[in-house]
Structure 1
Amino acid sequence: MKKGFVFDLDGVITDTAKYHYIAWKELAAEIGIDIDLKFNEQLKGISRMDSLERILSLGNKNDAYTEIEKEALATKKNTQYVQLLQSLTPDDLLPGVKEFLDQAKEKNIPCGIASASKNAPFILDKLGVMSDFDAIVDPATLKKGKPDPEIFVQAALALGIDPAEAIGFEDAQAGIDGIKAAGMYAVGVYSGEELHGADIIVEKLTELNIDELLSK
């Protein structure tokens, strides 16, 4: 029997990818780099600084900025992103999420967030589901980002369970790889990116039976 759920945020709980894209595209344009939606797929699930490095690499500008300047660029992007997030409401939860979380609470199944986003608490608060989560991993405490399993292992331990007793939910390949490396059962949430290695793939959480999942 499984004893806990660990969720990625973007693409699983809500879809803020469009806001990330707008903010990154604006920043990239300011430094003479053009990114499109196809390139943006590479930025899903990875940290802010890793995303910036990929954008700079696209424009052959890896060595054009100091580390301090890169931090400033990443901060500028995040400021714009957070401004865009102000419009989030509970209506922006993806289909079936609230119902799934309510069922988990009824069954006393702890839930955690394993997201590369440093804005996770702010986003969950705007969505009205902050109280539905028992643990949120602070990405600043991590030595490695996804696909390394560290964030998922930390989330499981924060819930008081072994990683093998947890079920992870992800919409990005890096996340699925991390979940499996942590020894968890992986639920892939399809959002346009082909996922490999997930134990089950759904488009919405409404497709899942919570009792069947817990018996895995």
Structure 2
Amino acid sequence: MLKALIFDMDGTLVHSDPTHLEAFAEVLGPEGVVIDDALYRSAIIGRTNDAIFASLLPHRTVEEHEDFADRKEAAFRRRALDLKPLDGLVELLDWAESHGIRIALVTNAPVLNATHMLDVLGITERFAVKVTIEQVERGKPDPLPYLTALERLGIGSEEAVAFEDSPSGMKAAKGAGLFSFGVLTGLTADDMKALGADGTIETFRDPALWEILERRVAA
């Protein structure tokens, strides 16, 4: 029986990757680091800020990495003022609520970003559980964030469906035992399936998604 939908945030609820790329470029450009699409996808997407800045600025201290991360997230929030939910998301949330299915957020983003993004999208009150990077000892790709969400929801992994767009996120969701859809805002369907995705969708209107959801609700 389906009891919860668990969503990643960036690239899943909203196509925010271009805005993140701009924020990273603003902060790292003066350091001589050129942030283009290829580097963003290979070294940034889905990773924690700790890992990102350690790999891109290995000569800097941990304290400096934290400062860069804070500045980058502030730059992102300043830019992310008019983003819209991914196509079909609001209708999916409405459907879930009408069927008594709870909604959860699992993100490697800090709580300030999560709060800002959900407010901009107008969906803050939809989420019964929100797990951000500060609330867990290990972020994605570790399954701990998803396991934490399941614990707070009071359900088993077989009672939820996850939505992810990144390699680290998909590894985390599958590591927690979740049936998982890969949202194709950044990676290809083949990429997602290679990471273990049970299905792939371009938007939340995809018939493949609704076939699975309706079947699991009826189970």
Whether TM-score is above 0.5 comes out as yes
Please state if 1:177 is matched with 2:171.
Answer: yes
Structure 1 residues 190 and 96, CA gap change in structure 2 (3 angstroms)? same
1:55 alignment partner AA: L
Please state if 1:73 is matched with 2:68.
Answer: yes
CA distance in 2, matches of 1:176, 1:78: 23
Q: What residue is the counterpart of 1:19 in the other structure?
A: 19
Contact 1:111–1:159 (CA under 8 A) maintained in structure 2:
no
Structure 1 residues 71 and 192, CA gap change in structure 2 (3 angstroms)? closer
User: Which consecutive residues of structure 2, in runs of 5 or more, have no partner in the other structure?
Assistant: none
Please state if 1:107 is matched with 2:90.
Answer: no
Q: Identity percentage over the alignment?
A: 29
Structure 2 residue matching 1:186: 3-state secondary structure: strand
Q: What residue is the counterpart of 1:40 in the other structure?
A: 40
Question: Which 10-residue stretch deviates more, 4-13 or 157-166?
Answer: 157-166
Q: CA offsets, 1:111-146, max 9 Å, x none?
A: 100011111122111111111111100311212121
Question: Which 10-residue stretch deviates more, 130-139 or 94-103?
Answer: 130-139
Question: Which 10-residue stretch deviates more, 42-51 or 32-41?
Answer: 42-51
Q: What residue is the counterpart of 2:82 in the other structure?
A: 87
CA distance in 2, matches of 1:122, 1:192: 22
CA distance in 2, matches of 1:200, 1:215: 19
CA distance in 1, matches of 2:35, 2:82: 24
2:215 to 200, 212, 216: 212
Q: What residue is the counterpart of 2:116 in the other structure?
A: 122
Matched positions, count: 207
Contact 1:12–1:189 (CA under 8 A) maintained in structure 2:
yes
Structure 2 residue matching 1:5: 3-state secondary structure: strand
User: Which consecutive residues of structure 1, in runs of 5 or more, have no partner in the other structure?
Assistant: 57-61
Structure 1 residues 96 and 141, CA gap change in structure 2 (3 angstroms)? same
CA distance in 2, matches of 1:136, 1:215: 27
Deviation of the 1:53 alpha carbon: 1.9
Q: CA RMSD in A?
A: 1.5
Contact 2:89–2:204 (CA under 8 A) maintained in structure 1:
yes
CA distance in 1, matches of 2:218, 2:164: 19
Deviation of the 1:184 alpha carbon: 0.8
Contact 2:15–2:185 (CA under 8 A) maintained in structure 1:
no
CA distance in 2, matches of 1:67, 1:183: 33
2:150 alignment partner AA: A
2:32 alignment partner AA: G
Structure 2 residue matching 1:205: 3-state secondary structure: coil
Q: CA offsets, 1:141-193, max 9 Å, x none?
A: 21212111011111122222122321111011211111111011111111231
Q: What residue is the counterpart of 1:199 in the other structure?
A: 198
1:145 to 139, 154, 161: 139
1:142 alignment partner AA: V
Structure 1 residue matching 2:53: 3-state secondary structure: helix
